[in-house]
Structure 1
Amino acid sequence: MRLFLFSCSIATALAIAACSNGQQATSSKDLEFKPAEFQQSELQQQNLSVETKQTEVKPNEVKPIQVKPIQVKPIKVKPLKFKQIQFRSVELKPIKLKEITFKGVEVRENRDLTAIILPADVLFDFDKDNIRPDAEVALRQVETVLTQRYANNSVRIDGHTDAIADNSYNQNLSERRANSVKRWLMQQSGIESARMTTRGYGETVPVAANTKADGSDNPEGRQKNRRVEIVIQK
């Protein structure tokens, strides 16, 4: 009986020892796996760190503002128009110039202008625009005034007629006569064309009545109206 109990005790002890060894073996295996899991966790952390490093943080992209150029419309500036000085000989005071001695030629002036008034009958035959040869004496005196007394002044040559013919005819005749005087001064006196301008007024600027009060003809008045005026701008 005692032998049997002893045997059971030994068997029990061996069984306990075996179980204990098994648990130790299991624990050892657990201990062996834990480092691997830990290593895997570390590897994941390293990969995450590498991915974080590899991630490029791009700066904010600022799109340039496209500014359209301001379109400025050109301003059209109209050139200034200077009103041409209009005058009648009666508005100018008569004066004497020592250069002008030809009979019938008048000189008048005001603060701005000097006008040498040449009767058309001195310069032209009736209804013609060609300068007569005997008009040279009068024109030479005009030349002296323009080249010596007023050598640097602008000159305007105005043609005028009486009212015998129609308006358009008189207008054309006055223009032709003004141009003839300019041409003579250029060719015979050497006065620059740029200094001189011409204009025809026809019958529109009379200095005397073409007819008398009773409606009859006034030859003296018409003769005064037929003229060429050399107007010098002071």
Structure 2
Amino acid sequence: MNTTHTSRHRGNDTGTGATTDRTNPPMTRRLSRLVPALCGLLLVLVGVTACGRTESSGATTTDATTTGSELSYEAVGACKDVFSRTDAPGAQIIVLWDSTASVADMPFPAALAEDLKTASLDDGTLSVIAVDGEAVAPRILAKDVALSTTGERDRPSVAKLAEVIPACVQSVYLNGLVPTAPGTDLHRAMTVAAEIAEPGATVWTVSDMMSTSGQLALSKAVLAEPADQAAETAAADAPVDLHRNVWKVSGMANAATPLLSASREWVRDFTRGLCRGWNASGCKSIELDPVNPVRTATGLPKDPVPPFPAVDAVTTATTCSFTLPDELLFDGGSAELRGDVDEVLNQPLALLDANAETTLRIVGHAASSGAYTAAELLALSKARVQAVRDRIVAAGIEKARVSSRGVGDTEPLAEDIDPSTGLQIPEIAAAERRVELIIEGAPCSR
């Protein structure tokens, strides 16, 4: 049975939007050329035993060769023929792809591949936006291109084409993608996505979500704030309206320089907060991916990892002093140790274990705050150093070697209250909230 549909005028479509016959002869001849190449590609990628024949021409399929994720010339040409359509009526997939130097190498997201297959089956469309760096606009690599051929959706060739569409997207648009400027400007790319998103779109951001340029840059001051608070401020200062469309993120916090668990969780919570502030849906489903192996990026513009809190070690000939930011040790504003606290205690524990003659002094500090009294800050710092001491003793270090004291905000590194406003200076206050481990009797490296 012949059916018709009204095409949408999209992107660089030069058509008129008139009613299009899904079974017109030119498209039938086009299918006879596309299906053999793509079906052969399917044989290579997913091991299907037989693709059969095209419905219209009866032409048998032939294999296309691939090299890793690279498609053959014939297969890429067939993919491009599919993408040349700009009148598909189905749901819209928008992909923001971040290949900047801070991003750890990662495979094509399996969930994105499934969304592309579904969109192909439903005769949906794809837009691809390449994230770039400082003062450089993101590149729109594809805008509302089709993910399938026209015609009845229950044809076998439609399902076969859907299986290879993720490989087509990767080969045609993403392989060899290189940014042109240093840094990562995610806000500009998200703004472009919001501008082209239609109701019912799904927006995918494949990125470590660590912007170092533009309005969303993760500065030391931003990273000193709780993630939810930082996200609320960022969403107000760098607005994006995703119109309640679903936002999905892959690769979040998978940096070329590995992050501590606390920093990865901060990025996750910050991204969820942005999702809410940017009027998107699906925010609760945004999760961290497993950590991927680190790559050595070559030939990419400079893009350093933002200044996340880190353990600082200072050595002399006979001492090693570690400064541990509270956010790496404790859950929120409590004295409860994080479940992953060994990530930051392993180095001092190893030094203590290897040098039985050493002793350890633990000193806990707090930042000045109008919300707490000096006595409350002192009590919190004492509770925190006790928790750290207990953990170190539980790891096998003799109690007699360990002393501890909490000093509240009485030994500041610098003034952390702005005298003109009476408010905390976030990055200075963050430096005050710390625990110091001073190991006496051995330098940091031996």
TM-score bracket relative to the smaller structure: 0.5 to 0.7
Higher mean C-alpha displacement, 202-211 vs 191-200: 202-211
Deviation readout 1:151-200 (Å, 9 max, x if unpaired): 3111111111111121111111111111101100111x200001001101
Paired residue for 2:326?
A: 120
3-state SS of 1:133 partner: coil
Residue 183 of structure 1, aligned match among 390, 401, 404: 390
TM normalised by structure 1 equals 0.52
In structure 2, the CA distance between the partners of 1:111 and 1:141, relative to structure 1 (3 Å rule), is closer
What is the correspondence of 1:39-58 to structure 2 with a 5 Å cutoff?
none
- 1:213 & 1:145 partners in 2: Cα distance? 41
Match of 1:146 in 2: 352
User: Superposition pairs for residues 60-75 of structure 1, below 5 Å?
Assistant: none
Alignment of 1:220 with 2:417, yes or no, is no
Q: 1:108 aligned to 314, 335, 342, which one?
A: 314
CA–CA separation in structure 1 for the residues paired with 2:359 and 2:408: 22
Residues 112-154 of structure 1: CA deviation (Å, up to 9, x unaligned) = 6421110011001222111001222111222112111x33111
CA distance in 2 between counterparts of 1:168 and 1:228 reads 18
Indicate the larger mover: 137-146 or 155-164: 137-146
Q: Which residue of 2 aligns with 1:30?
A: none
1:133 to 339, 344, 347: 339
- Write the letter of the residue equivalent to 1:232: I
> Of 363, 366, 383, which residue of structure 2 is paired with 1:158?
363
Query: How far did 1:208 drift?
Result: 3.0
In the TM superposition, what is the alpha-carbon distance from 1:213 to its structure 2 partner?
5.2
Instruction: Give 1:217 deviation, angstroms.
Output: 2.1
Shift of 1:111: 5.6
1:228 alignment partner AA: V
Counterparts of 2:316 and 2:414, CA distance in 1:
20
- Relative to structure 1, the CA distance from residue 112 to residue 212 in structure 2 (aligned partners, 3 Å threshold; closer, same or farther) is farther
Query: Would the aligned equivalents of 2:366 and 2:432 in 1 still touch at CA under 8 Å?
Result: yes
Q: State the alpha-carbon separation in 2 of the partners of residues 186 and 166 from structure 1.
A: 30
Higher relative contact order (CA 8 A, sep 6+): 1
Structure 2 equivalent of residue 195 of structure 1 = 401
Q: Which amino acid aligns with 1:203?
A: D
- What is aligned with 1:230? 437
TM-score, scaled relative to structure 2: 0.28
Q: Distance in 2 between matches of 1:199 and 1:105?
A: 20
Q: Indicate the SS of the match to 2:412.
A: coil
Is contact 1:171–1:202 with CA below 8 Å preserved after alignment?
A: yes
* Cα distance in structure 1, aligned partners of 2:356 and 2:413: 28
Distance 2:324 2:392 in 1: 14
Q: How many angstroms apart in 2 are the aligned matches of 1:139 and 1:231? A: 13
CA 1:120–1:192: 2 relative to 1, 3 Å:
same
Contact 2:368/2:417 (8 A) holds in 1: no
How many residues align? The count is: 132
Secondary structure at 2:367's aligned position in 1?
A: coil
Structure 1 counterpart SS, 2:415: coil
Indicate conservation of the 8 Å contact 1:161/1:202, yes or no: yes
For residue 209 of structure 1, report the CA deviation from its aligned partner. Answer: 2.5
Match of 2:256 in 1: none
Q: Which protein has the bigger helix share?
A: 1
CA RMSD in angstroms, aligned pairs only: 1.9
- Identical columns (%): 29
Distance 2:347 2:440 in 1: 18
Amino acid at match of 1:142: P
For the 8 Å contact 1:208–1:224, the answer to whether it is kept is no
Q: Give 3-state SS (helix, strand or coil) of 1:229's partner.
A: strand
- Unmatched 5+ stretches in structure 1: 1-100
Where structure 2 has 5 or more consecutive residues not aligned to the other structure, the ranges are 1-258, 261-308, 442-446
